[in-house]
Amino acid sequence: MIKKIVFSGIALAVLLGVFIVARVWLFSPEDGIKRVSIPEGVHDPAEWGKAYPLQYQGYLKNREMAPSPTGFGGSEKTQKAVMEPANLMNFKGMGFSKDYTEDRGHPYALEDLRETERLTPKTTGACMTCKTAQIGGIFKDKGWAYARTPLTDLLPTLKHPITCSNCHDPKTMNLRVMNPAFIEALAKKGIHVRKASRAEMRSYVCGQCHVEYYFEPETYRVVFPWNKGLQPEQMYAYYAEKPAGFTQDWVHPDSQTKMLKAQHPDYETWSTGTHGMAGVACADCHMPFLRESGRKYSSHWVTSPMRTVEESCRTCHTQSKDWLMARVKTTQRHVWDMQLRAGSTVSRAHEAIAKAAADSRVNGAELENARELLRRAQWYWDIVSAENSMGFHNPAQVLNTLGQSVDLAHQAIATANRAVSASHGK
């Protein structure tokens, strides 16, 4: 009798084991979606769509253009200067004063690169690093040499914007990172992207593009300024050491200040925010799980999560949809108000320095101090303004950064005025 019980116990355990193994190896337990091996180099999402129709349908929705449910951001190509006129003064003398639009869906990346008025005959290939799925093949063939090749030479060969292969290994469908700059930036910190966990990859795939970067002089290699850390102060300190001789993105024509242009630091800002610190990945909010006939799959409509509050937020939060929407909007309104104040104070600092510089009795050393204060003030404003969530990814830090910007811009104005009035007394 006891023998029988033991025997059937063992038999049950073996059966269960076989069942688990079968689930794991044969039927992909995560989502029940059958993996199909697609050859490397196939970038047309329609080809991938034959094997993965639900994800492809979602991807196609990225072409939809609509205002954001919060009133900030959105998927339409509107000029940012309409809402924030300080951009025109603060980016004077460089492309972003001519053309600086709100971002829209991934399928538009290449089209928007081709059309931007920021392109000049001198624009280099480095600019396409984050705009096309073909980057992997190009880097394999040419290494970093592509980065200094004129963009006009490369553009005719580019057919595919950001598509499936930017984020997926076509053979296994595992997540992967393609941008060599991201892999190098993490390697410098002792992190190997290829060893990353699935949870980390759910943010790394986005972090490869949604980050601050600069082009190294001469080589045009794309580099992330992360050696000292990912916060605005730490990135500024990194730039202050003139890495590889990099001193500025451009010189402002009025204030003659050597300026930095900040680029979309969504990853950096998120990383030290409430959600980033709690391990909530970009994909948790921006690519939430959906269900279709009982099957779980990831939304591939990568847009404002406030369009899908139920799936994006209420998986963790018990508050109502209206409450969450109101919290997000409140944060964004506070940030927007401070961002406008910082931007316009920075503009006034450019004017004050230009005015002081035109005075023949100006104290040159004081004027240089004013320029350094302005350079920092604008960096602190721009690193928030260029971020895409209007503060949501890290409300407390972003408001602190804007506060520093306003303070520094006022100091720049006072120093410029003193540079003239002090010498008037002499």
Q: Please list every residue from 357 through 386 that binds ligand HEC, using CB under 6 A.
A: none
Chain positions 312 to 341 lying near ligand HEC, rule: CB under 6 A, are: 312-313, 315-317, 324, 327-328, 331
Q: Is 244 left (phi over 0), alpha (psi -120 to 50) or beta?
A: left
Both tokens of 8, joined, read 């059937």
Q: How far is the CB of 350 from ligand HEC (least distance, A)?
A: 27
CA distances from 74 to 22, 41, 187, 304 (A): 44, 32, 34, 7
Q: How far is the CB of 272 from ligand HEC (least distance, A)?
A: 11
> Which residue in 86, 89, 109, 126 binds ligand HEC (CB under 6 A)?
109
Chain positions 207 to 236 lying near ligand HEC, rule: CB under 6 A, are: 207-210
The residue among 275, 299, 304, 269 whose CA lies nearest residue 287 is: 299
Q: How far is the CB of 2 from ligand HEC (least distance, A)?
A: 46
d(C-alpha 15, C-alpha 9), whole Å: 10
> Which residue in 8, 23, 31, 41 binds ligand HEC (CB under 6 A)?
31
Both tokens of 97, joined, read 């004063």
- 278 binds ligand HEC per the rule CB under 6 A: yes
CB-CB contact of 42 with 35 (8 Å): no
Query: Candidates 100-108, 254-262, 333-341, 352-360 — which segment interacts with ligand HEC by CB under 6 A?
Result: 100-108
Chain positions 186 to 205 lying near ligand HEC, rule: CB under 6 A, are: 198, 202-203, 205
Q: Name which of 88 and 175 has its Cβ closer to ligand HEC.
A: 175
> Which residue in 104, 221, 261, 371 binds ligand HEC (CB under 6 A)?
104
Q: Name which of 285 and 409 has its Cβ closer to ligand HEC.
A: 285
d(C-alpha 407, C-alpha 71), whole Å: 28
Query: Candidates 142-150, 185-193, 337-345, 388-396 — which segment interacts with ligand HEC by CB under 6 A?
Result: 388-396
- 280 binds ligand HEC per the rule CB under 6 A: yes
- 139 binds ligand HEC per the rule CB under 6 A: no
- 59 binds ligand HEC per the rule CB under 6 A: yes
Query: Candidates 91-99, 292-300, 336-344, 367-375 — which segment interacts with ligand HEC by CB under 6 A?
Result: 292-300
- 297 binds ligand HEC per the rule CB under 6 A: yes
- 401 binds ligand HEC per the rule CB under 6 A: no
Both tokens of 372, joined, read 């350094």
Burial (CB count within 10 angstroms: exposed 0-12, middle 13-18, buried 19+), residue 346: buried
- 106 binds ligand HEC per the rule CB under 6 A: yes
Q: How far is the CB of 414 from ligand HEC (least distance, A)?
A: 34
Residue written as token pair 């006009």:
152
Query: Angle CA(258)–CA(211)–CA(255) in degrees, nearest 5?
Result: 15
Q: Which amino acid is at 343?
A: G
Query: Angle CA(133)–CA(138)–CA(140) in degrees, nearest 5?
Result: 115
Residues whose CB falls within 8 Å of the CB of residue 329, separated by 6 or more in sequence, listed in order: 70, 71
> Which residue in 393, 397, 412, 415 binds ligand HEC (CB under 6 A)?
393
- 125 binds ligand HEC per the rule CB under 6 A: no
Residues whose CB falls within 8 Å of the CB of residue 221, separated by 6 or more in sequence, listed in order: 126, 144, 147, 181, 215
Q: How far is the CB of 415 from ligand HEC (least distance, A)?
A: 35
Q: Name which of 196 and 413 has its Cβ closer to ligand HEC.
A: 196
Burial (CB count within 10 angstroms: exposed 0-12, middle 13-18, buried 19+), residue 8: exposed
State how far Cα 402 lies from the chain centre.
Answer: 19
d(C-alpha 182, C-alpha 222), whole Å: 9
Q: How far is the CB of 19 from ligand HEC (least distance, A)?
A: 22
3-class secondary structure, 202: helix
Sketch the per residue contact string, 249 through 268, with ligand HEC: x for CB under 6 A, - otherwise: -----------------xx-
Query: Candidates 86-94, 185-193, 285-293, 342-350 — which segment interacts with ligand HEC by CB under 6 A?
Result: 285-293
Chain positions 153 to 182 lying near ligand HEC, rule: CB under 6 A, are: 162-164, 166-168, 173, 175
Residues whose CB falls within 8 Å of the CB of residue 90, separated by 6 or more in sequence, listed in order: 97, 343, 346, 347, 350, 378, 381, 382
- 96 binds ligand HEC per the rule CB under 6 A: no
